[in-house]
Structure 1
Amino acid sequence: MLEWGSITKGLVGTTAWLTLEVERPVAHYLPEVPDAEMTVADLVHHTSGLPRLPVTMHDRLFGDPYRKAVGVPLDLGTAVPVTPRGQFAYSNLGYALLGAVLDEVHGDWFAAVRQHVLEPAGISSAALVPADADRVAPKLFGRAIQPWALGESSFAAAGGVWSTFDDLCRYADWALEPGVGHSRTVSWQREGASIWINGEVRAAGAVIANAAGVTAVVHTLAKAPRAADAIATAFIEQEVRSKRDG
């Protein structure tokens, strides 16, 4: 099994969009949240003003910022915006909070994701904490790279899903199925006619991208940051040239 990283957000955002009143304030579901204005839709779209991580967590290149969040409930008091609401600011804290909202409504955010996204997409093997024997363990200089503890932590909804590459392709097909509307890609990024969702964790990168009628699904292990994005872009450009040149 492979880490999907922040492609997890695509699953969570769609589940929220399908099952919650997205224009309601987050505080309607979680009264302990100190900000009374941010909505569920703000969390989905990264426009809540929340930081990438709480100030109490350190996003270091060689550390694991999520290890201290294993077995610890999300501190709702840290959900304090640092930028104006309505501006795009990528936030893992926002998606951890969205997972907490889904927990409050459904009892288990991952069970809700399984019901509303994974099962409809034909995905049955996804997990948050797969057995060690099921994980693909990338190596660097001959040593296995220890993955972040995202799936075990209170930030799992921001990037904790593991599954196979075939399942990543199944999710891409399901999300990009023509004529199904906006909800399946509500958490994806857009620029012009291009649409994509990507994820980067310590030892892996993944991306699903669609542009000019071409879809690329890429997963990398132990590569430079954004390597998956670069490969997907190169593939799409090559396919577009091939179509143009006949």
Structure 2
Amino acid sequence: MVGRFLLVGNGSRPPAELRRSRGIVVIDGERSDWRDDRFYDDGRLLEWSSLTKTVTARLLVELERARIVDPATLVSELLPYLDLSGATLRDLSSHRAGLPVMHPGAENGVFGDPCRGAENVEFLADRAGAVASSQSRLGEYRYSNLGYAILGAAMEAATGKQWFDLVREWVLPTEQFPSVTVAPDANRRALPRLLGFRREPWSISDGVYRAAGGLWSSFEDLAGYAERCMRRGHRSGWFMLRNAVYYHTGQARDTGVCVIIAPEAERFGVAHAMLRGPNATKALLENLMFDNYR
């Protein structure tokens, strides 16, 4: 199945295989109309999925700088119903709290919605025992959407404010990123169609998992966020790709996204795709930024 790509970055003209991918490409400010208007027409909102984690991690950094939240705080101090064997907010942010990808009993993402039922923090309280029993060894890396859901809930408890309100105040101010939302208009969402029917996304934006993957925005705001992270040298929540180069991906039901930033080289790239497998956007950006444009 042919995917649809949407790209922005630095370099020169993309290779032929990218020109055939029917997306929209922005390289050094030059825009080429390879867009598939069925999916990526003007005004559509794109799903960030797990790229949202870099925003949540940055929020923790900003709250620490403002002396509002200490990353060394135990999760149990802020969420007493969760006994996570000494795990701190920093452990959650670095995926070292020993938590699984999703909560115990979550639906399979292939045929169901793994976020179904996780509408509020009471969801975490109701499953506190199961969550605690799913914890493995503290300090070992274990990628976890559940950990970021708990991190968002903990910061809400520490501040008395909703996670998205905190994001707007400290990381993505409305005047600079006006389209960012966790409640996208259903008619503006960039989603694929299969057999003529539009596929609904997982409900990750509707409850506690929004801190792990719930953001949507225009492509312009997504690209603006990537450039801002590059220029400010943000690294919290990012993974190292190679020396002085960082990345984060996101994979939802039918969409994928990747951002690569190289602050020292002042380079960045963004790819958003539909109906492609995990890591497709990452592989594409690596090719675009480091193989074809050396």
TM normalised by structure 1 equals: 0.89
- Whole-Å separation in 1 of the counterparts to 2:291 and 2:242: 19
SS in 1 for 2:117: helix
| CA displacement 1:168-189 (0-9 Å, x = unmatched) | 1111111111xx45xx330011
What is the deviation of 1:87?
1.1
In terms of fraction of residues, the more helix-rich structure is 1
Cα offset for 1:132?
A: 1.0
Q: State the secondary structure of the residue aligned to 2:205.
A: helix
Q: CA–CA distance in 2 between the matches of 1:216 and 1:104?
A: 35
Provide the aligned C-alpha RMSD in A.
2.0
SS class of match (2:190) = coil
Deviation at 1:239, TM superposition (A): 4.4
Q: Aligned residue for 2:212?
A: 158
Match of 1:110 in 2: 164
Partners of 1:125 and 1:101 lie apart in 2 by 26
C-alpha contact (below 8 Å) 1:198/1:205 kept by paired residues = yes
CA contact (8 A) 2:117 2:123 kept: no
Residues 92-107 of structure 1 mapped to structure 2, 5 A cutoff? 92-106=145-159, 107=161
- 1:120 positional shift: 8.1
Amino acid at match of 1:5: S
Matches within 5 A, 1:68-87: 68-70=117-119, 73-76=122-125, 77=128, 78-80=130-132, 82-87=135-140
Match of 2:37 in 1: none
- Structure of larger gyration radius: 2
Residue pairs, 1:68-217, within 5 angstroms:
68-70=117-119, 73-76=122-125, 77=128, 78-80=130-132, 82-106=135-159, 107-119=161-173, 122-177=176-231, 180=232, 184-193=234-243, 194-211=245-262, 213=265, 214-217=267-270
- For structure 2, list consecutive stretches of 5 or more residues without a partner in the other structure: 1-44, 64-68
Q: In the alignment, which residue of structure 1 is the partner of 2:277?
A: 224
After superposition, the C-alpha distances for 1:95-154 in whole angstroms (9 at most, x for unaligned) are 000110121123211100111111189212111121112212211233211111111122
Asked whether the 8 Å contact 2:259–2:269 carries over to 1, the reply is yes
Aligned to 1:244: none
How far apart, CA to CA, are the structure 2 residues paired with 1:115 and 1:210? 24
The 3 A distance-change label for structure 1 pair 111 and 171 is same
Are positions 1:29 and 2:82 aligned together? no
Q: Residue type matched to 2:274 in 1? A: L
Structure 2 residue identity aligned to 1:235: L
Native 8 Å contact 2:204 2:214 kept in 1: yes
Determine if contact 2:182/2:215 at 8 Å carries over to the other structure. Answer: yes
Structure 2 equivalent of residue 5 of structure 1: 49
Query: For residues 72 and 100 of structure 1, do their structure 2 counterparts lie closer, same or farther at Cα, with a shift above 3 Å needed?
Result: closer
Moved more, 197-206 or 112-121: 112-121
Q: Which region of structure 1 is more displaced relative to structure 2, 58-67 or 126-135?
A: 58-67
Q: 2:96 aligns with which of 47, 59, 67?
A: 47
When the two structures are superposed, what TM-score results if normalisation uses the length of structure 2?
Answer: 0.75
For residues 7 and 34 of structure 1, do their structure 2 counterparts lie closer, same or farther at Cα, with a shift above 3 Å needed? same
Contact 2:116 2:203 in 1 (8 A): yes
Superposition deviation, residue 68 in structure 1: 2.1
Given the superposition, is the C-alpha separation of residues 71 and 39 from structure 1 closer, same or farther in structure 2, using an over 3 Å criterion? closer
SS in 1 for 2:221: helix
**C-alpha separation in 2, matches of 1:149 and 1:162:** 12
Change (3 A) 1:208 1:172: same
Unaligned runs of 5+ in 1: 242-246
Deviations 1:32-61 (A, max 9, x none): 111241000001100000111111213331
With 188-197 and 43-52 compared, the bigger mean Cα shift is at 188-197
